[in-house]
Chains A and B, each alone.
Chain A
Amino acid sequence: MDTLRQSPSPCSSRPSSPRTPPFEMFGPVGIEAVLDQLKIKAMKTGFEFNIMVVGQSGLGKSTMVNTLFKSKVWKSAMPSLEVPTPQTLELHSVSHVIEEKGLKLKLTVTDTPGFGDQINNDKCWDPVLGYINQQYEQYLQEELLITRQRHIPDTRVHCCVYFVPPTGHCLRPLDIEFLRRLCRTVNVVPVIARADSLTIEEREAFRSRIQQNLKTHCIEVYPQKCFDEDINDSILNGKIRQEQIPFAVVGADQEHLVNGRCVLGRKTKWGIIEVENIAHCEFLLLRDLLIRSHLQDLKDITHNVHYENYRVIRLNESHQLPRGPGWVNLAPASPVQLTSPGCLKVRRRAQKDSKDDEC
């Protein structure tokens, strides 16, 4: 966690005092055109985005994903009766390519059915962490090759959306444990699921209590405070942090007719809850955060901070793990058993981890 705080802001590189002041140019040169070049290049190569949804079953994760990307990402959100609920936590991953206005986005969604569903949920975050680390590992292996590919396929999880059940009270121990461990490895966005079961006041109270909990346990969710570069960012992100996280969302993938318009919503006896109506729920805010404004930022932080942290740990520890034919199975992020009094850094990190566990 401390590494997060100490690492410098990942996204901007303000040049340190230039050797010469900016030169006066007598006329336009056309440097601006490089922006267009960038755009053209981006359109050609397309984008990738990997999102993971975590939460107990029945909270509406699959529906939410369907609503976010306005398509049937998952074939059916309701589990059919023949398929038994999974006894262990498995991860399902599905990839799509969606295109809008000539822009291609390769979207990968990872679901975690069975999370928190067992009686004993101890260490239920291990598979999730293992999966995330596995993606980092894959990328690292690709990056370390002698002849590498021109464009390394990015399967690292850019954002993890955590669904908090709408109890109305506060975060449960399971939530806290999970969030604490995950916020160090990946960008976490907590949301209040099924928010239509809470009234507006209850939502606000719940939200502030959750924020309290997060602060008490030193859990830094996205957007992290330490990565705000300039004043605009801090203002914008501060507003999000103060007022909006966690978003109270409702997911729906069925359309209904309201006032002549066709909207996505949930139909109940007493009315229709419109998903995209800001007065009804905050789905729009979540969508804007994830897609319209902060997508690139999510990817940047994943690449520049989380991946680099993983890489540092991995390269330091590497001589202690048993050698295999290339790919070494990495235990999930827990204090490493030291076999030799070798690397001090790892020991310090292990101590830090255990200290953090106590806090």
Chain B
Amino acid sequence: MASSDETRLLVSPSHCSSYAAAAAGTAFGDPRPSCSHGAPLMSPHSFHMMSKTACISPQVSDCDTQTKKENIRSLTMCGHVGFESLPDQLVDRSIQQGFCFNILCVGETGIGKSTLINTLFNTSFEEHESSHFCPNVRLKAQTYELQESNVRLKLTVVYTVGFGDQINKEESYQPIVDYIDGQFDAYLQEELKIKRSLFSYHDSRIHVCLYFIAPTGHSLRTLDLLTMKSLDSKVNIIPLIAKADTISKTELQKFKVKLMSELVCNGVQIYQFPTDDETTAKINASMNVSPPASPTPMNIMENENHCDFVKLREMLICTNMEDLREQTHARHYELYRRCKLEEMGFSDMSPENKPLSLQETYEAKRHEFYGERQRKEEEMKQMFVQRVKEKEAILKEAERELQAKFEHLKRAHQEERMRLEEKRRILEEETVAFAKKKATSEIFQSQSFMASSATVRKEKDRKNFNYM
């Protein structure tokens, strides 16, 4: 008989033995009994694991504890399996998919945002100069497709328009925050859908925010501080000192130091470049940038001694693009997601401290919505029925009126007809009477004529007689 529906998952605990850090060179398990020649078991290609009980790198700490729970042991392979091509497979897939990178540039009008981006990517995106008279801060986003050898990059650059131009700057940073949240929200919506397609979703979340600081030489402005403070938990911020060639080098240094200390002292989190295995480990992310006036002095600009621009490009693109994306996804997005879901009323723990699944709250809400929808449907049905009744009544009324009119007309018509009949009869009688009269009068006339003619003859005869 086949087993019941429940599956029993047996992790074979009886087999495994976590071995101590002693045997560095021995193969695991029984020595092969059937190896007929006495050659050593290690062939030149064998790889040996340094015996550890926790086998996964310490960075992934969650996996660590799980490793211990599952009693995972390390294996010694006596041969070349060939999975070192795995990163290549991964890379191939990524090449096919293409990459996506979104930059947000925050800074005053005219500070050199678009010029910097142009230079960073060694191209010239079409940009018009913006005006200084915008009533409020807007964001302008544009997407470009770049390709370098076989790597496709979908670059989206978002500029702030009118930042710092208003007289009252209180609401300056809100549109920016709203925009970033909006992108996170769009991604969250896609992720929560039932039928979703995350692999072909165009990720529009901002990966890095380049914050342009005006080179006043003094200290951080309040607006800048406030904006950075409100953005630091949502996005990776890299502050830049723009137009650095307008102040002298020593002032620049002092300014940098001052800025960093202010940022630290106000608790603003800026993006820390990962330092573990970088060839150029840089923690301080504040660099100065000198944008060129026109494309030609670019080669001058790229001189390392002249400015930190090359370093910026290297940091941003060559070394850390992937890390920026990962931070955005793993830290900022997760934070947003957590806050948003908690806001919507979901939680991981129910009031009795039992683990509550998203499923249950979701189901509860769904039930609610379902009930709500039913109710609304009922309401609408009722309304519909009522409307139909009313309409029907109106129509009936109209019909009745029409009927009455018709009757009335019919009656009038009949009366008319009768009257006309009457008239005709009278007319006919008159005609008959007239005809009779005519007849009698004709007879009378003929009679009188004959009588008169007879009289005339008589007269004549008498006359004739008299003559005789």
Q: Do residues A93 and B11 form an inter-chain contact, with CB atoms below 8 A? A: yes
Indicate the member of B8, B59, B196 with the most A CB atoms within 10 Å: B8
Write the chain A residue with the least CB distance to B52.
A97
> Contact between A332 and B5 (Cβ–Cβ < 8 Å)?
yes
Interface contact B362-A126, CB-CB below 8 Å: no
B57 x A46 contact (CB < 8 A) = yes
Instruction: Judge if B7 is at the interface, Cβ distance under 8 Å.
Output: yes
Pairwise interchain contact B338-A312, C-beta atoms closer than 8 A: no
Contact of A96 among B72, B318, B358, B366 (CB under 8 A): B72
Contacts known (A38-B87, A38-B322, A149-B62); A20 close to B77, Cβ less than 8 A: no
A279 touches B (CB below 8 Å)? no
List residues of B (342-379) whose CB comes within 8 Å of A's CBs. Answer: 342, 346-348, 354-360, 362-363, 366-367, 370
| Minimal beta-carbon separation of B39 from chain A (angstroms) | 7
**A146-B358, A153-B63 as given contacts; A32 in contact with B151, CB under 8 Å:** yes
B224 contacts the other chain (CB 8 A): no
**Size of the chain A interface, CB-CB below 8 angstroms:** 118
Q: Would you call A280 an interface residue if the criterion is a C-beta within 8 Å of the partner chain's C-beta atoms?
A: no
| Residue B397 is within 8 A (CB to CB) of chain A in the complex | no
Does the CB pair A91–B94 fall under 8 Å?
no
Query: How far is B80's CA from A69's CA once the two chains are assembled, in angstroms?
Result: 9
Task: Please name all residues of chain B whose beta carbon is closer than 8 Å to the beta carbon of A121 when the two chains form the complex.
Answer: 2
Within B83-141, which residues are at the interface with A (CB < 8 Å)?
Answer: 83-87, 89-99, 120-123, 125
B63 to chain A: which residues have CB within 8 Å?
Answer: 151, 153
Q: Nearest Cβ distance between residue B72 and chain A, in whole angstroms?
A: 5
Report the Cα distance A325→B36, complex, angstroms.
Answer: 58
For this complex, 24 residue pairs linking A to B, each with C-beta atoms less than 8 Å apart, are A10-B199, A13-B201, A22-B145, A25-B146, A29-B122, A29-B317, A30-B148, A32-B148, A34-B321, A37-B319, A38-B90, A45-B59, A91-B9, A97-B73, A99-B47, A124-B2, A134-B7, A146-B347, A151-B60, A255-B32, A262-B43, A292-B82, A318-B362, A325-B355
What is the interface of chain A, defined by CB distance below 8 A to chain B?
8, 10-15, 18-35, 37-47, 68-75, 88-107, 118, 120-124, 126-127, 130-131, 134, 141, 144-151, 153, 229-230, 254-257, 262, 264, 287-288, 291-297, 300, 304, 308, 311-312, 315-316, 318-319, 323, 325-328, 331-332
B320 within 8 A of A: yes
- Docked Cα-Cα span, A70 to B191, in Å, equals 40
In the bound complex, how far is the Cα of B342 from the Cα of A19, in angstroms?
A: 37
- Known: A38-B94, A89-B3. Is A96-B74 also a contact (CB below 8 A)? yes
Using CB atoms, name the residue of chain B closest to A151.
Answer: B60
Residue B232 CB within 8 A of the other chain? no
B314 within 8 A of A: yes
**CB-defined contacts of A126 to chain B, threshold 8 Å:** 2-3, 5
Contacting residues, chain A, for B4 (C-beta < 8 A): 88
Taking a contact as CB atoms closer than 8 A, the residue among A71, A149, A256, A291 that contacts B83 in the complex is: A291
When the two chains form the complex, which single residue of B30, B96, B148, B330 contacts A12, counting CB atoms closer than 8 Å?
Answer: B96
Structural contact, B151 and A27, CB atoms closer than 8 A: no
Please name all residues of chain A whose beta carbon is closer than 8 Å to the beta carbon of B72 when the two chains form the complex: 95-97, 106
Kindly state whether residue B463 has any CB partner on chain A within 8 Å. no
Q: Which B residue's beta carbon lies closest to that of A105? A: B83
Chain B residues whose CB sits within 8 angstroms of the CB of A328 once the complex forms = 359
Q: Which 9 A-B pairs have the closest CB atoms?
A: A70-B79, A88-B3, A296-B89, A13-B200, A37-B322, A97-B55, A33-B318, A144-B358, A326-B357
Picked from A90, A96, A105, the residue with its CB within 8 Å of the CB of B10 is A90
The answer to whether residues A37 and B323 also contact, given A44-B57, A93-B10 and a CB cut-off of 8 A, is yes
Inter-chain contacts of B59 with A (CB < 8 A): 44-45
Residue of A nearest to B88 (CB): A39
With A38-B322, A122-B2, A145-B358 known as contacts, the answer to whether A98 contacts B62 (CB < 8 A) is no
